[in-house]
Amino acid sequence: MIEKTLKGKPAYWIWLAFLGMFMAIGVACYIRQYNFGLGMTGMSRDVSWGLYISQFTFLVGVAAGGVMLVLPYYVHNYKEFGRITILGEFLAIGAIVMCLLFIMADLGQPMRALNVVLHPTPNSMLFYDAIVLNGYLFLNILCGWVILTAERKQVKPPKWIYFFVYLSIPFAVSIHTVTAMLYCGLPGRHFWLSAIIAPRFLASAFAAGPALIVIACLVLKRVAGFDAGRKAMDKLVTIIIYASILNMFFVGLEFFVGYYSNIPSHKHALEYLFFGLEHHGHVYNNLVPFMWAFVILAFGSIALLATPLARKKNDFYLGLGCVGLFLAFWLDKGIGFVLAGFVPTPLHEITEYIPTANELGVTIGVWATGFFVVTVLYKIAIGVEHEVE
Amino acid sequence: MDKQRRKFLKIAGASVVAGIGAPVLVKLSSSPALASSDGGHAPVAAGHAPMPDAHGGGHVEEAPEGVRLGMVIDMRKIADTPALLDKAISACVNAHNVPQFPDKKNEIKWIWKAPFENVFTDKSASHTSKRVADTQFVALCNHCDDPPCVRACPTQATFKLAKNGIVAMDFHRCIGCRFCMAACPYGARSFNWQDPRPYIKKYNKEFPSRMRGVVEKCNFCGERLALGQEPACVEACKGTGAILFGDLNDAGSEVRAVLDKEFTIQRKPTLGTKPSVFYIV
């Protein structure tokens, strides 16, 4: 099936070359970082995780979002998702590739990464995260490939594969739960120390992941003549809307706990994110525009997607709503959540973080790599679909 | 007294390096019951929690078990002679090749000065006495009895030494994921964002310098204890009683004598980390 990636229209090659260019920029920036150290980034003693880890956190969600297709199709036998479930699985592969690359980019000593395996440490959440992420990657490659091969041969998939398909469902939940546990089990980081982090992560994941799949379907419809079916898309949008509303509800609960209890440490990070935090006469508010953009985009997109205009008739508004939501949750989790955890520092000082150009280069390179992987995998999936037809 | 402490430090230190306990330590650490029945060591003091509850919560003092090195910092003495702190800090910097970066972003700190409200963020800083407000306090790794950094580390590159309670680091195993920095509620850990060697003012051949990409922090001078010396900061304040060091579990130790006499506080005790550094304010 791999041969399908080698034949395509000029647009396909131009797109890959476009991504390849950013991948090359990413590699060049990473080499600079590798030779100098993580001092090439905007991270500091006080804000010791930055864009890399926040992108990782967001993309774990995108990967987990694929389960919103797998679960209805395989568990509830929702046939409409038959054509696009493979897209969810392949998106998960691309997202996890990005996650692993971001982790590697963030390590101070990447050559020692295997120490996590050589010295397994069950009390560290990172140990479990490595297990579930690699496990989920393996499951998606296995299930995607076996089922696609069966489809190509026009036979039923082998029975044994269903064991792995069902196994991938709890794995999808676990990757984002364990990722939340990286944060929510740390004493002294009040913003992260909240039991609602894991549910909130899952809610935004189940919105952002499927939103990206809808966008992908709309693109594939135009460029590859692949129609996911209006009914499937409509069901996806329903899932996206509910998951989005849940996420916004959970964010609201954080506000209630912080502001009604009036405990300063529970309010600091929220104040910093949404209103700016005053400290020794200086107001720190770097992230405020991002967070209000998140709120406006999220509610605006939910409203848009809920209208019949986006749902029944107009692909443009449907795409716009999904892009809006995807961006909203990227701002929420891919920017705000991780960075705000470091404000204030354990000694109640405030240090703000601004990524460097080199760091942005690496970040864009990793995103381009992920899109490259997804493009190639989708090319295979669509190629098989067309072949069968 | 001094001679005794020297001897103790030597033994405690030797066990750090050799990884084996001298007989006296075996006796101390083999079981809590043994420790309390030992003639030289007083039974569990009244008011201490019974052993089964020892790990129940932040306010419960754990039962003596093995050697647990700790520190008492007398801020009254430091307030009287603020230069003591500078001496202690530079002794540490020189002993451990701590690089001196000019910018806050790259800062590496093992022991450092900070105002009361920053060191004790959970204590009220409204209407503090003039002395407290005017004094630079001191922060360092607390060598917690229940360290969150050790819990978070995915490679056991940071670990608690069973022999003496020191939270130590293996610079050669650390992968630089900085999970420990997120986990530490005391901001005690620093990361080498770039090669630190050009920023080491005076190179001390007795202690390794670090490479970029690893985390580091105060090690309670494990390497000096092994040679029978006191920690560098303690030695720098020698004779003043500003910083005392010893076994918190040894009822006969100097630190325990001070702890029994004075009211002391720990940083963020409600988090349940059981810090080993005590302050007399």
E strands, chain A, in order: 277-279, 282-284
- Cβ <8 Å between B178 and A345: no
Q: What residues of B are in contact with residue A109 (Cβ under 8 Å)? A: 174-176, 213-214
Residue B254 DSSP class: H
- For residue B175, give the nearest of A48, A107, A342 by CB distance: A107
Q: How far apart are CA B267 and CA A268, in angstroms?
A: 20
- Cβ <8 Å between A46 and B187: yes
Beta bridge pairs of residue B277: B71
A1: confidence class by pLDDT, cuts 50, 70, 90: confident
Closest chain B C-alpha to A172 CA, distance in angstroms: 22
* Pairs of CB atoms within 8 A across A/B: 144
Q: How far apart are CA A16 and CA B167, in angstroms?
A: 50
Closest CA to B187 of B133, B221, B148: B148
Beta bridge pairs of residue B280: B74
- Cβ <8 Å between B183 and A186: yes
Closest CA to B213 of B142, B108, B132, B116: B108
- For residue B104, give the nearest of A36, A44, A348 by CB distance: A44
- Give the architecture-level CATH label for domain B69-280: 2-Layer Sandwich (3.30)
Q: Looking at residue B12, what is its pLDDT?
A: 53
Question: Could you tell me which residues come within 8 angstroms of residue A255 by beta carbon, excluding any fewer than 6 positions away?
Answer: A270
Q: What residues of B are in contact with residue A48 (Cβ under 8 Å)? A: 178, 181-182, 191
Average pLDDT over chain A reads: 93
Q: By the CB < 8 Å criterion, does B117 face chain A?
A: yes
Kindly state the average pLDDT of the residues B197-208.
93
Nearest C-alpha in B relative to A32: B194
**What is the per-residue pLDDT across B113-158, written as a single tens digit (0 to 9) for each?**
999 999 999 887 788 899 998 999 999 999 999 999 999 999 999 9
Residues 174-193 of B with CB under 8 A from A: 174-179, 181-187, 190-193
Q: How far apart are CA B90 and CA B277, in angstroms?
A: 20
Question: Could you tell me which residues come within 8 angstroms of residue A164 by beta carbon, excluding any fewer than 6 positions away?
Answer: A139, A142, A143
Q: By the CB < 8 Å criterion, does A127 face chain B?
A: yes
Q: Residue B4: exposed, middle, or buried by beta-carbon count in 10 A (0-12, 13-18, 19+)?
A: exposed
**What is the per-residue pLDDT across A164-216, written as a single tens digit (0 to 9) for each?**
999 999 999 999 999 999 999 999 899 999 999 999 999 999 999 999 999 99
**What is the per-residue pLDDT across B149-199, written as a single tens digit (0 to 9) for each?**
999 999 999 999 999 999 999 999 999 999 999 999 999 999 999 999 999
Q: Looking at residue A328, what is its pLDDT?
A: 96
**What is the per-residue pLDDT across A110-154, written as a single tens digit (0 to 9) for each?**
999 999 999 999 999 999 999 999 999 999 999 999 999 998 999
- For residue B184, give the nearest of A41, A46, A346 by CB distance: A346
C-beta separation of B249 from B36 below 8 A: no
Residues 226-245 of B with CB under 8 A from A: none
Closest chain A C-alpha to B279 CA, distance in angstroms: 16
Q: What residues of B are in contact with residue A115 (Cβ under 8 Å)? A: 154-155, 157, 173, 175
C-beta separation of A59 from A98 below 8 A: yes
Neighbours of A269 (CB within 10 A): 25
Nearest C-alpha in A relative to B271: A187
Q: Does residue B74 carry a pLDDT above 70?
A: yes
Peptide bond into B185 cis (omega under 30): no
Nearest C-alpha in B relative to A50: B178
The count of residues in chain A is 389
**What is the per-residue pLDDT across A242-284, written as a single tens digit (0 to 9) for each?**
999 999 999 999 999 999 999 999 999 999 999 999 998 999 9
Q: What residues of A are in contact with residue B121 (Cβ under 8 Å)? A: 346-348
Residues 244-273 of B with CB under 8 A from A: 268, 271-273
- Cβ <8 Å between A187 and B273: yes
Residue B265 DSSP class: B
Domain locations in chain B as residue ranges: 69-280
Q: Residue A277: exposed, middle, or buried by beta-carbon count in 10 A (0-12, 13-18, 19+)?
A: buried
Q: By the CB < 8 Å criterion, does A123 face chain B?
A: yes
- For residue A115, give the nearest of B105, B173, B268 by CB distance: B173
- Cβ <8 Å between A37 and B177: no
- For residue B191, give the nearest of A48, A125, A351 by CB distance: A48
Q: What residues of B are in contact with residue A347 (Cβ under 8 Å)? A: 114, 118-119, 121, 139, 186-187
Q: Which of B155, B184, B192 to mutate to test the interface with A (most CBs of A within 10 A)?
A: B155
Q: What residues of B are in contact with residue A119 (Cβ under 8 Å)? A: 155-156, 173
- For residue A116, give the nearest of B150, B154, B185 by CB distance: B154
- Cβ <8 Å between A186 and B272: no
Q: Looking at residue A83, what is its pLDDT?
A: 85
B73: confidence class by pLDDT, cuts 50, 70, 90: very high
Q: Which of B107, B153, B169, B177 to mutate to test the interface with A (most CBs of A within 10 A)?
A: B177
Closest chain B C-alpha to A199 CA, distance in angstroms: 21
C-beta separation of A343 from A75 below 8 A: no
- For residue B148, give the nearest of A36, A186, A341 by CB distance: A186
Could you tell me what percent of chain B has a pLDDT over 70?
Answer: 77
Count CA atoms within 13 Å of residue A257 on its CB side: 17
Kindly state the average pLDDT of the residues A305-323.
86
Q: Which of B103, B105, B184 to mutate to test the interface with A (most CBs of A within 10 A)?
A: B105
- Cβ <8 Å between A45 and B107: yes
Q: By the CB < 8 Å criterion, does B132 face chain A?
A: no
Q: Does residue B9 carry a pLDDT above 60?
A: no
Residues 141-170 of B with CB under 8 A from A: 148, 150-157
Q: What is the CATH number of domain A2-388?
A: 1.20.1630.10
Q: Looking at residue A227, what is its pLDDT?
A: 86
Angle CA(A245)–CA(A247)–CA(A253) in degrees, nearest 5? 105
Q: Which of A107, A181, A348 to mutate to test the interface with B (most CBs of B within 10 A)?
A: A348
**What is the per-residue pLDDT across A9-34, written as a single tens digit (0 to 9) for each?**
889 999 999 999 999 999 999 999 99
